[in-house]
Amino acid sequence: MSRFVMVSFLFMGWSFYELSGGRDFVPPIKPEPIEVAKIEPVAKPQVTAASLVTTPVRRPVLQTRTNREARTFPDRPTANPNLRSEVALAQIAAVGDAFKIELGTNGLQPTTPGLQLASLDGGLMPLTSDEVEPTAFIPLEPPVETTEDLRIVTATRVNMRDGPGTVYPVVTQLNRNASVAVIDDNGTGWLKLRVVDSEQVGWIAASLISK
């Protein structure tokens, strides 16, 4: 057993020797060292108490100019209402004179009966007519009074239906003494009624309504 162990160690040593190169083994050459540039440390800024205090900034103050010369405007003349009236009357009189001259030149005379051209010296006067036709008076006819057949509900509570029969749906319910107006009586025992308060229209059996 000890021999086998020794032979195994010898075989392992010989194998390691052969794998590492044997007689041709050359030790590796160490690489030359690489020079690395040195980084100079950055100087830290010195913070003082004075640098932390904010310094107020002076801004120029805008001052209004008080020595600006006041602008003067010429005074507007006061309006004279009498002068305006005189100018208007003069223009109207000139138009009237021109109208008269044109009528005289053409040999025309106003032929409308009952109409006179007022003098324009004292202002513009409206054209008046001597003859005024009276307005015919038309008497109004009195309104025709429509009489409704008003009745009341005699039962305690009745159903108003959408048609003359129990097969029609109920539209509303009425209590005793509710006022209704008769619209139609088809003779089948049903009345078409209108509720006076709510204007609801429907059908109710005639036996449930007063005569």
- Comparing 3-7, 36-40, 132-136, 188-192, the range with the smallest average pLDDT is 132-136
Whether residue 89 has pLDDT greater than 60? yes
Whether residue 13 has pLDDT greater than 90? no
Whether residue 119 has pLDDT greater than 60? no
Structural domain contains residue 193? yes
**What is residue 95's predicted lDDT score, i.e. its pLDDT?**
76
Whether residue 11 has pLDDT greater than 70? yes
Give backbone dihedrals phi and psi of 157, rounded to 5 degrees, phi first. -155, 125
% pLDDT > 70, the chain: 64
Structural domain contains residue 98? no
Rounded distance, CA 163 to CA 81, Å?
A: 80
Confidence of residue 7 (pLDDT cuts 50, 70, 90): confident
**What is residue 100's predicted lDDT score, i.e. its pLDDT?**
65
Structural domain contains residue 19? no
Lay out the sheet containing 190-195: strands in order across: 149-152, 179-185, 190-195, 201-205, 157-161, 170-175
Structural domain contains residue 154? yes
Structural domain contains residue 176? yes
**What is residue 117's predicted lDDT score, i.e. its pLDDT?**
46
Structural domain contains residue 88? no
CATH number for the domain spanning 196: value is: 2.30.30.40
How many CA atoms does the CB half-sphere of 36 hold within 13 Å? 4
Structural domain contains residue 100? no
Sign of CA dihedral 10, 11, 13, 17: positive
Structural domain contains residue 67? no
pLDDT in tens, 46-68: 777 777 777 777 777 666 665 55
How many CA atoms does the CB half-sphere of 4 hold within 13 Å? 1
Confidence of residue 211 (pLDDT cuts 50, 70, 90): confident
Rounded distance, CA 168 to CA 190, Å?
A: 12
Highest averaged pLDDT of the listed ranges 1-15, 38-52, 168-182 = 168-182
Number of folded domains that form the chain:
1
Domain hosting residue 175, numbered range: 149-208
